[in-house]
């Protein structure tokens, strides 16, 4: 970790601790230059996910990998959050709520650029208002992969657990990212 990253870890320590107190297993301050984007990630959404185009938080309504790289480059740090999926589909919802609450806390503490990328597709509404504006812009966020972030490469470089699931019964690892400066 660079000297600046060490200072950032200390500066954002209260937020990583708050995340852990709210059920997050790991919370790491990372430099946004270590968050990887790739065009193939969006292609996997388009040709591998039944949710493609179904919500405003999924491609093609989300930033492209190139746009996401530009957004990431406008920040210096992010807090990478990890939680184990505990065979309960509400776990993802709770994890994403924790991310949004953390973003709000950070924002209210004066970090006006705070913004979150969640885990998995948005399912806030029974049916997304795809032809108009998001009905929950204060709480809905796109996923990291939905914005072209190579989650596997990003988290593996941080020595966090992730693996390809062979079936739906396997424990999953969920990731989110709160961008902050």
pLDDT, tens digit, for every residue of 11-24? 999 999 999 999 99
Cα radius of gyration (the chain): 16
Contact assessment for residue 18 and residue 72, using Cβ atoms and an 8 Å cutoff: no
What pLDDT is recorded for position 105? 98
**Residue 4 clears pLDDT 80, i.e. is over it:** no
pTM over 0.75: yes
pLDDT, tens digit, for every residue of 84-127? 987 776 788 899 999 999 999 999 999 999 999 999 888 889 99
What pLDDT is recorded for position 2? 58
Q: What is the DSSP string of 56-95?
A: TTSTTSSPPHHHHHHHHHT-SEEEEEEEE--S-THHHHHH
- The more confidently predicted of residues 26 and 7 is 26
pLDDT, tens digit, for every residue of 16-69? 999 999 999 999 999 999 999 999 999 999 998 888 999 999 999 999 999 999
Query: CA nearest 41: which of 75, 61, 64, 57?
Result: 64
> How is residue 82 written in tokens?
């990890």
Q: How many domains does the chain have?
A: 1
What pLDDT is recorded for position 63? 97
- Ranking 89-93, 124-128, 132-136, 169-173 by mean pLDDT, the lowest is 89-93
- Average pLDDT (134-147) is 95
Residues of the domain holding 59: 3-180
Contact assessment for residue 134 and residue 56, using Cβ atoms and an 8 Å cutoff: yes
């Amino acid at each position: 970790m660079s000297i600046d990253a060490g200072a950032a870890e200390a500066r954002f320590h209260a937020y990583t601790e708050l995340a852990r107190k709210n059920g997050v297993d790991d919370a790491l301050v990372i430099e946004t230059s270590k968050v990887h984007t790739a065009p193939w990630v969006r292609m996997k959404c388009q040709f591998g996910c039944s949710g493609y185009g179904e919500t405003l938080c999924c491609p093609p309504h989300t930033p492209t990998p190139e746009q996401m790289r530009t957004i990431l480059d406008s920040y210096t740090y992010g807090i990478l959050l990890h939680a184990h999926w505990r065979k309960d589909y509400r776990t993802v919802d709770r994890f994403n709520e924790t991310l949004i609450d953390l973003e709000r806390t950070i924002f209210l503490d004066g970090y006006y650029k705070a913004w979150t990328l969640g885990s998995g597709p948005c399912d806030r509404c029974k049916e997304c208002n795809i032809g108009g504006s998001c009905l929950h812009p204060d709480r809905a966020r796109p996923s990291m992969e939905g914005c072209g972030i190579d989650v596997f490469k990003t988290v593996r470089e941080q020595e966090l657990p992730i693996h390809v699931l062979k079936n739906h019964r396997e424990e999953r690892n969920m990731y989110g990212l709160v961008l902050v400066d």
